[in-house]
Chain A
Amino acid sequence: MNNHTPVVVIVEDEKQIRRFVRAALEEEGLQVYEAETARQGLVEAGTRQPDIIILDLGLPDLDGVEFIRDLRNWSAIPVIVLSARSDEANKIAALDAGADDFLSKPFGVGELLARVRVALRRRDRTAGEAAAAIEFCGVHVDLVNRTVKRDQQPIHLTPIEYRLLALLVRNPGKVLTHRQILREVWGPSHVEHAHYLRIYMGQLRHKLEENAAQPKCLLTEAGVGYRLVIDE
């Protein structure tokens, strides 16, 4: 395990929001650096070597999406974006550019901390070896042996269903946009066929969830993409 205190850079122009985010994260035991503008945020990200960046999408000097593209040129630091609700296009752009997760305003501190923890765990995991096996909603996925089981009973998946599940399992807690999944599973020429993905996702739910209309783990972020929630 990593022993050093995790470092967070928060890029947000609103002082009151910075203030409570800082208070919450410091209380959680993280070290927090603040940046008021995107440019300053990039400087902080470069110099402080943060473990997570929390980024407001509505910054005055630079578009948040631009910030992420810039950052992704030289770093894979997890980014959680803060955005207004009803702004799906912007969210998708940020996620496609490389953001890991998003939080719609207004959000509670509990929600924020949960997302930060997930991001930190994922960072730890990618830092070590990729998880060979994972468990969620009573389903056990073994990526090495390529088996999917519930209660020791193997579950029958088609190759595409498996590739889709494997992608989600490799990115637990992360929001994957339709575009990203289509590119990974079907290839770059299929990024427009979102209904393929939706159909396979439905099948996967029917096979893995107790009630496909009330999923617990294979969650839909309406209009944006999907997220696999892992209960640990």
Chain B
Amino acid sequence: MNDQRPDPDELLERVQRDEEKARRGKLKVFFGASAGVGKTFTMLSAAQQLRSQHLDVLVGIVETHGRTETMALLEGMEVLPLKEIEYRGKTLREFDLDAALQRRPLLILVDELAHTNAQGSRHPKRWQDVEELLAAGMDVYTTLNVQHLESLNDVIGAITGIRVRETVPDKVFDQADEVVLVDITPDELLQRLHDGKVYIPQQAQEAIRNFFRKGNLIALRELSLRRTADRVDDQMRTYRQERSIDKVWQTKENLLVCVGPQPGSEKVIRRASRLAAELDVEWHAVYVETPRLQRLSSSERERILRTLKLAHELGAQTATLAGQDEAETVVEYAYSRNLSKLIVGRDYKGWRPWRRSFTDRIGRLSSDLDIIQVVREISDNPAQSARARLADRSERVKPAWQPYAWAVAACAAATVLGTGMQPYFELANIVMIFLLAVVLIGVKFDRGPSVLAAFLSVILFDFFLVPPRLSFAVSDAQYLVTFAVMLAVALVIGQLTANLRYQAQIASHREARLRALYEMARDLSGVLLPDQIIDISHKFIESTFGVQIAILLADEHDKLQSAARDAHPVPAIDISIAQWSFDHNEAAGFGTDTLPGSPILYLPLRAPMRMRGVLAIESAHPRWLLIPEQRRQMDGFAALIATALERVHYIEVAQDAVVRMESERLRNSVLSALSHDLRTPLTALVGLTDTLVRIPPGLDAAQLNLAEAIRDQAFRMSALVNNLLDMARLQAGNVKLNLQWQPLEEVVGSAQQSREQQLKEHQVQATLPADFPLLEFDAVLIERVLCNLLENAAKYTPPGSTIRIAAAICNGEAQISVTDNGPGLPHGSEETIFEKFTRGEKESAKPGVGLGLAICRAIVEAHKGRIWAENVPTGGARFIFTLPLGTPPSMPDLQDEQALHGMEPGVT
């Protein structure tokens, strides 16, 4: 039962893949065997059809090569103007990626996927532009020839004899949503060529004529057909997997490619990539750096890095490993990653026939790894490599002369000592002094001085010590053996010590870096401010790697800010590249796919929750940034910094929350203390005045008046305190509304009731529609709004005026109005009266501090309503506030109850 179900991990992966796909635009590739099959034509026809269905189609770039039929198809299409790029005095016209991103059509046509962009463009390759368009959610139509597919590049090169430099990684092709094969027979194509319907650039006419031979065309056609068929096969497999048709789940036999220092490894990589694609497995590419290989010339090292980069582009996981023995390290890596198949380039028998080949050594180390040998390509132009070697030699660091002087001095010292010892010791013992000198030189300096010391010792020993002395002649033939052994021992020891020292150096370098990483992590774990993080990062990264860095932090709108306080020398940062890297969560600048022309590498600082900023690195030796393991280490630093930044951010958030809570608590306790302390004496004042009036024998008229006045003032004071406290609460911005569904008339009634005293000289008319719906509001607060409005109306109208309360449904919200027939509002004050401490009449003798309406506004706005005032044409002021209607909760069924009631006797 369970076996038929797909593995949950696989399902999850599929869901994620689908989600990713849904967000991305769709890529449709028009794929052909060669130029001239009509890819562009087909693409344009398809686009025209969509356009006629009123789809938003934009032509990003299309090469018509002046063909009228193709041109005709552009009719009516919107064409994006090309961007002009100045390069070495020439003006090149390129696809304008930024304009396309800004225009954001539904579908964009981008011809020639394999095109290489002019220098100075954002991406070196057009397929990278297309990736960005897809990531931005646009659908893309593009065209591609089979010979531009990376993995088939060398195969086709071998067949046709023409190698194209512009390639597209297979993953772009494989991940395309649709591939349309544009196919015509070789004969037809040749006919078209003959008719001049195929565009051929002037300068390469001869070569291209050679290319268009029938044999070539047949081969190309077969390859493109097969590649398309493979893709269809893949799709079928995915389909079957998704439908769970296949019960057998493949156990993944992942591949491991070993990249060697030999030239021609690219072919091995391409072969492995194809194999991995066929098997649908992951693949890894590793390069083992042994001490011997570390001494390779920089151009050779660069070639290895290029090979690894190619592997990376083709979808491999790449790694540079350090180890003593290539075979051992590779086997270890294979076991740790569970990789069962090894692909290696075939070794040629070198000049050392005794040396076991790499394959043999691996075979000896492990019996359960499959090894696939691939022939290397030996296409390297010998003249070119000779030139490279020459360049290397000149580039090589000039050797320091001091170690050689030391070697000479050590040998001289040995000779002097040996001469002094000769009368007393055997020559066999004196030889040991010379050996000691060679060993010491070997330990102290590099290989060169130790070799010099070895030869020099033999010469000096012969000249000064072996009889006949002060001559190179040797009296006894047995001394020749001494010389030979001495030379051999000296060379071997020199070699060994030099190797040892070299490894110790590497180990200490590595240790230093790890220590730096560890120390930085430790230091970062204690910091509390972003500035400290920046300082620590500068200190560690710059001292460890000898590079210059800058950290750009993002503000809350995801815009990068250069840390202005940064006192350190900042590399010349291009903020737009940094922002790109930040926005796309991808490395940019030097050594990456995006704007590699920049001398600075930009690494996004990605923390678990979100992006925090960008780390910009500038190195005096830019090549250093290309080494994968260095990049990985920089990535490690970037991750550390990002995590630290995030942690600091959350510390700030937590502190903010504590401070807010604390101030909230303080405010509340101050308010309630104030409220209690102010009210208590007011209560006493009111009560005591009342008592004064009531206690017999009572007061006379004048005294009674005074007592009344005291009482009124105390109540006014109380109202003032209430207003101030309410305003303070509302101002704090965190009033918790006690929202309940209730009829409006309840609060209209209770508001009148509680302002009975103030309203006794006025007529109040409340008329609410009988079927007015329930509203959701805080009864106490809305009662307060009504009280304030009523009080206001009572205050500003002469006694005997009428105040009307009404409600209506208007524009999907409830409108409640309080209208009086008094003098109305002063002109132009309809808005200002809602501000704090404003009153209709300046310096009025009427009581009140003008907080009432401000409180009303705060309350109504907290209910997501509006409040405003207007003058009534017939005289008087009207205050209106709105409350949202919403959907009232279900009602008790009144009908049922009415029916029930009929059956119950006695209640009438």
Interface set of A (CB-CB < 8 Å, partner B): 14, 16-17, 19-21, 23-24, 27, 58, 84-86, 88, 105-110, 112, 145-148, 154, 156-160, 162, 193-196, 198-202, 205-206, 211-215, 219-223
Contact = CB atoms under 8 A, between A and B. Distances in A.
Given A157-B907, A195-B741, A213 B805 contact: yes
A106 B685 contact: yes
B906 A146 contact: yes
B819 interface: no
Contacts of A195: 740-742, 774, 888-889, 891
Contacts of B889: 195
B299 interface: no
Contacts of B894: 158, 199
Contacts of A162: 907
Given A58-B676, A108-B686, A194-B741, 17 more contacts: A14-B680, A23-B695, A27-B695, A86-B725, A88-B780, A107-B686, A108-B687, A145-B906, A146-B906, A201-B746, A202-B746, A206-B770, A213-B767, A213-B768, A222-B747, A222-B779, A223-B779
16 contacts: A24-B690, A24-B691, A27-B694, A84-B672, A109-B687, A112-B687, A154-B908, A157-B907, A157-B908, A160-B897, A194-B742, A198-B740, A202-B746, A212-B749, A220-B747, A223-B783
Interface string B740-773: 1111011111111110000000001011101000
A109 B683 contact: no
B780 A86 contact: yes
Contacts of A159: 897, 900-901, 904, 907
B750 A222 contact: yes
B684 interface: yes
Interface in B171-193: none
B714 interface: yes
A55 B141 CA distance: 83
Interface residues of B, number: 63
Contacts of B126: none
B750 A16 contact: no
A214 B749 CA distance: 5
Nearest to B675: A84
A215 to B, nearest CB: 5
A158 B901 contact: yes
Nearest to A203: B894
A5 to B, nearest CB: 19
A215 B766 CA distance: 10
Contacts of A88: 738, 780
Interface of B: 672, 675-676, 679-688, 690-691, 694-695, 711, 714-715, 718, 722, 725-726, 738, 740-743, 745-754, 764, 766-768, 770, 774, 778-780, 783, 805, 888-889, 891-892, 894, 897-898, 900-901, 904, 906-908
B743 A202 contact: yes
* Closest 9 pairs between A and B when the two form their complex, measured CB to CB: A16-B684, A109-B690, A20-B687, A213-B766, A223-B780, A106-B683, A222-B783, A220-B750, A105-B683
A225 B741 CA distance: 14
A198 B742 contact: yes
A70 B183 CA distance: 95
Contact of A146 (B681, B695, B783, B907): B907
A55 to B, nearest CB: 14
> B interface, by DSSP: helix, strand, loop or mixed?
helix
B743 A106 contact: no
Contacts of A200: 892
Contacts of A14: 680, 683-684
Contact of B722 (A85, A108, A112, A198): A85
A220 B749 contact: yes
Contacts of B780: 86, 88, 222-223
Nearest to B889: A195
Contacts of A19: 684, 688
A27 B711 CA distance: 20
A27 B687 CA distance: 14
Nearest to A218: B749
B774 A21 contact: no
Given A146-B907, A214-B752, A220-B750, A108 B901 contact: no
B891 A199 contact: yes
A59 B774 CA distance: 39
Contact of B676 (A84, A156, A160, A202): A84
Given A146-B907, A195-B889, A199-B892, A215 B749 contact: yes
Nearest to B714: A106
A20 B690 contact: yes
A198 B679 contact: no
Q: Which of B738, B745, B764: most chain A Cβ within 10 A?
A: B745
Contacts of A105: 679-680, 682-683
Which residue among A85, A157, A211 has the maximum number of chain B CB atoms within 10 Å of its CB?
Answer: A85
A213 B752 CA distance: 9
A206 B741 CA distance: 19
B897 A17 contact: no
A17 B680 contact: yes
A110 B689 CA distance: 12
B691 A109 contact: yes
Given A109-B687, A219-B749, A214 B694 contact: no
Contacts of A205: 745, 749
Nearest to A205: B745
Most B CB atoms within 10 A — which of A88, A106, A162, A223? A106
A202 B892 CA distance: 13
Contacts of A58: 676
B722 A86 contact: yes
Which of B684, B685, B766, B904 has the most CB atoms of chain A within a 10 A radius of its CB? B684
Contact of A17 (B687, B694, B745, B908): B687
B331 to A, nearest CB: 71
A106 B718 CA distance: 7
Given A86-B722, A195-B742, A106 B691 contact: no
B667 to A, nearest CB: 15
A157 B907 CA distance: 7
B24 to A, nearest CB: 49
A163 to B, nearest CB: 10
A220 B743 CA distance: 11
Contacts of B694: 24, 27, 109
A198 B743 contact: yes
B686 A219 contact: no
A86 B742 CA distance: 19
B456 to A, nearest CB: 101
A109 B711 CA distance: 11
Residue with the greatest number of chain A CB neighbours at <10 A, chosen from B748, B766, B778, B908: B908
Max count, chain A CB within 10 A of own CB: residue among B694, B711, B904: B694
B740 A194 contact: yes
B194 to A, nearest CB: 88
B226 to A, nearest CB: 72
A134 B718 CA distance: 37
A21 B686 CA distance: 11
Nearest to A223: B780
A215 B756 CA distance: 12
Given A16-B684, A154-B908, A199-B743, A84 B679 contact: yes
Contacts of A201: 746
Which of A27, A88, A109, A221 has the most B CB atoms < 10 Å from its CB?
Answer: A109
A158 B745 contact: no
Contacts of B749: 205, 212-215, 219-220
A199 B675 contact: no
A199 B890 CA distance: 12
A108 B779 CA distance: 25
Nearest to A160: B897
Contacts of B690: 20, 24, 108-110
A223 B743 contact: no
B688 A20 contact: yes
Nearest to A190: B892
B688 A16 contact: yes
Nearest to A89: B738
A223 to B, nearest CB: 4
